[in-house]
Amino acid sequence: MNFLTDKNINLKQLINLYQSVGWTSYTEKPELLQQAVHNSLYVLGAFDQDRLIGLIRVVGDGLTIIYIQDLLVLPAYQNQGIGSTLINKVSKEFRHVRQQVLLTMEEPETRAFYEKNGFSSCDQGELVAFYHEY
């Protein structure tokens, strides 16, 4: 397995990865997904030989805040430390950035995963999170 920083990931592999985890709203407009990945601040892919098996995508200014927009791992490769490795590599790359933020669905496994990787939930601290979805 290797990890590569690359914003020009094969569109077919991107679509396969996003669909494999049920994120079909991203794949309804493939060109938009490809452009979003290309316009990201940082993209790190996990590959099994030439096959994309995981991805972390970061947006933000890279100086004061980063936002982990996407973290995905093919279901067949989950629970093997790939997601944690992707997060750790991003945390090291942006260790100088004070705010590392993400928004995700509330599920016990998801909460445990992010807490295991050093993130704190806003509902357990002094912060509050808001969002507006269209």
Question: Which domains, from first to last, does the chain contain?
Answer: 2-104 (3.40.630.30)
Pick the closest to residue 47 from 26, 16, 23, 68 (CA basis). Answer: 16
CB 56 within 8 A of CB 68: yes
pTM tops 0.75, yes or no? yes
Element (H, E) at 35: helix 30-38
Give me the numbers of helices (H) and strands (E) for the chain, helices first please.
Answer: 5, 5
21 φ, ψ (degrees, to nearest 5): -105, 10
Along the 134 residues of the chain, how does pLDDT read in single tens digits? Answer: 999 998 999 999 999 999 999 999 999 999 999 999 999 999 999 999 999 999 999 999 999 999 999 999 999 999 999 999 999 999 999 999 999 988 888 888 878 888 888 888 877 777 777 777 77
